[in-house]
Amino acid sequence: AKRPFRERTRLSLVPENFPGEAWEKEAPLEGEAGRAWREVVWDLPEMPLWEVWERGFPHLFRLEAHLAGASLGVPLGFRTVEVDGEGWLLLNGRRLFLRGTNAIPTQWLAGYTEALAQKDVALVKEAGLNAVRVHAHVTHSAFYRACDREGVLVWQDFPLQWGYAPDEAFAREALRQVKAMVDLLGSHPSIYLWCAQNEPTHNRHTLGPLLAAALKAADPTRPVKEASDFREHPYPGWYWGHYRDFLALPGAPLPSEFGAQALPRAELLRRVLGEAAWPPRWEVWAYHNFQPHETFRVAGVEVGESLEEFVERSQAYQARLLEFAVHAYRRAKGKVVGYFQFLLVEPWEGITWAVVDVERVPKKGYFALKEASSPVLLSLVPFRERLEVGGPPLMEAWLVNDLPRPLKLRVRLRLEGEVGLELWQGEVALEAGEVRRVFHLMEAWEAPLEVQAGLAPLQEALGSLPPGAYRLVGEAWEEERLWSRQEVALEYLLPLLPRGAAW
């Protein structure tokens, strides 16, 4: 205001995505000339809550303020968020296991649209994910609106990546922008967390605490992280080690980046790379983010005889790594409270860690992430992937229930190949939020003799299998709904020695 003012403001609160009662309030406001903040206390009854899609409905309101001929409207939802002493997110007072991904929807925000945002958030939900990390930037407002509508949680990064000038001027400007980010985005109920920095280096313990304190002061209603650190971003099977190292649960309790690159489809690569697509001109590929050392020397992906063959092998590796990693994290529910895979969609015509290309065509990794991220999961651990005829195909079977209700599941395990073989079928009851190992091979070996005798026909059938390629297939059904299906490729080989000839 250019002069001291005394006005009455009219506030209205209207349901936006459901039928319900509208609320209005008037309040006096007064202040001196210049910019002024005024707080209006509004006592409301118990309101419908905003929830993630798998646990309820994301009730949205629109809050409008009218003052001196001007008006302003913002989205609003009622929910509580906090992190408990074991690292779990409590949404509306209940623990939620976070199944998430990282998103950089586009590098060209001016060209991003409501339709694209809706499509991207639909990809998140279709993959069974309930959360997305807006990675190291503030994205287009349409994306947050779509997450609000669809019941998808948002981890919001402040746009700082790696290291910055260790001087006071930079810190002051960062503190100003932190407050601006909260002012800009704070009304979105989907945003549950502010994170001050991504992978900070030399200023991790100087700038980070300053920004975190500013975030907490600007918004005391949400959890705040000082940083998403390198130690929370495990990349076994890509930057180091083997993807089987995910069994050690690197990054726990909440790994917020992991994954591997995969090539987009061959038709897109030819269009983008031109003559450099095949035979590959690696310097052109590298300009488009391709990482040759990791692809060939860590992951061991082979080029093959054609671009199509290279794409197939690259995407198959990404899918295998993501399936293995997500299953390992979910079987460890409790030690792990969630995960954020890196990355959802490619923000430009590059070769990245994304599971969906820039034209929103899914790679094999998207479908692997989707199958591994179902709210109800059957997870199989094979005894061996290459085993002699007669060997048991299964070491462990686990069931995971992320839903807030108990389940009665029908589980079916079978072997498919030249000869099909039913392994087991039965019902399992799970409590809300429960994870349980429902089979362990060693327990079968330790069972009473009468139980082992009942397994004799199955052992005989395994011993008569023709050698070759097989699939261990598991399914978990709730009545007519297939919640989870997993396939594990196996190879049965002829014994090297006659049965009983050696230990």
Q: What is the 3-state secondary structure (H, E, C) of 234-287?
A: CCECCCECCHHHHHHCCCCCCCCCCCCCCCCCHHHHHHHHHHHCCCCCHHHHHH
**What is the pLDDT, as a whole number, of residue 391?**
94
So what's the pLDDT on residue 84? Answer: 97
Does residue 240 belong to any structural domain of this protein?
yes
Helix (H) or strand (E) holding 478: strand 468-478
In a domain, 420, yes or no: yes
Does some domain include residue 446?
A: yes
User: Coil, strand or helix: which one is 116?
Assistant: helix
Same domain, 189 and 221: yes
DSSP state of 297: I
Of 219, 212, 149, residue with least CA distance to 185 = 219
In 337-422, which residue ranges form alpha helices assigned H by DSSP? 364-372
Answer yes or no: do 398 and 369 share one domain: no
* 361 and 463 housed in the same domain: no
pLDDT beyond 70 at 1: no
pLDDT of residue 502: 62
pLDDT at 68: 80
- What integer pLDDT is reported at residue 224 of this predicted model? 99
Task: Answer yes or no: is 106 within a domain.
Answer: yes
**Length of the chain in terms of residues written:** 503
Q: Which of 420, 425, 408 is nearest to 474 (CA)?
A: 425
- Mean pLDDT, residues 175-203: 98
Greatest pairwise CA separation for the chain in angstroms: 99
For residue 327, name the pLDDT band (cuts at 50, 70, 90): very high
- Facing residues of 219 across strands? none
pLDDT of residue 235: 99
Task: Tell me: do 146 and 295 sit in the same domain.
Answer: yes
Give the residue-averaged pLDDT of 453-464.
Answer: 90
Tell me the average pLDDT across 382-405.
Answer: 97
* Terminal-to-terminal C-alpha distance of the chain: 89
Query: What is the predicted pLDDT for the residue at 299?
Result: 99
The token pair that represents 136 in the structure block: 């190291």
Give the C-alpha separation, 4 to 294, whole Å.
64
Is residue 262 exposed (0-12), middle (13-18) or buried (19+ Cβ within 10 Å)? Answer: buried
Residue 422 bridge partners (DSSP): 414
pLDDT at 455: 84
Mean pLDDT lowest among 18-27, 134-143, 251-260, 481-490: 18-27
Q: Which helix (H) or strand (E) holds 486?
A: strand 481-493
Rounded to whole angstroms, the Cα distance separating 215 from 160 reads 14
> What is the band of 503 on the pLDDT scale with cuts at 50, 70, 90?
low
Instruction: Provide mean pLDDT across the span 461-484.
Output: 97
- Per the structure, the complete domain to which residue 177 belongs is given by 81-375
pLDDT exceeds cutoff 80 at 485: yes
| Region of poorest pLDDT, from 33-42, 50-59, 113-122 | 33-42
Q: How confident is the model at residue 324 (pLDDT cuts 50, 70, 90)?
A: very high
- The DSSP secondary-structure symbol of 293 reads I
State the pLDDT at residue 38. 77
**Whether 261 contacts 351, CB under 8 Å:** yes
pTM over 0.85: yes
Q: Average pLDDT, stretch 63-69? A: 88
Nearest to 317 by CA among 340, 286, 295: 295
Mean pLDDT, to the nearest integer, of 355-364? 99
**Do 207 and 110 fall within a single domain?**
yes
**Domain containing residue 484: CATH number:** 2.60.40.2550
pLDDT at 500 over 80: no
Answer yes or no: is pLDDT of 32 > 80. no
Q: Do residue 220 and residue 95 come from a single domain?
A: yes
Strand partners, 456: none
User: How far apart are alpha carbons 433 and 97 in whole angstroms?
Assistant: 9
Instruction: Identify residue 45 by its one-letter amino acid code.
Output: P
Using the 3D structure, point to which of 76, 102, 119 is the last residue of a domain: 76
38-42, 47-51, 311-315, 475-479, range with the lowest pLDDT: 38-42
Q: How far apart are CA 202 and CA 159, in angstroms?
A: 17
Same domain membership, residue 116 and residue 220: yes
Per DSSP, the three-state class of 302 is: coil
Q: Does residue 143 fall inside a structural domain?
A: yes
In 3D space, the residue among 130, 120, 154 whose CA is nearest the CA of residue 54 turns out to be: 130
Say yes or no to pLDDT of 7 above 90.
Answer: no
The tokens for 106 are 């586009």
Q: How confident is the model at residue 446 (pLDDT cuts 50, 70, 90)?
A: confident
- pLDDT value at 375 more than 90: yes
How many domains would you assign to the chain?
Answer: 3
Q: How confident is the model at residue 444 (pLDDT cuts 50, 70, 90)?
A: confident
Q: Is residue 93 scored above 70 in pLDDT? A: yes
pLDDT at 31: 75
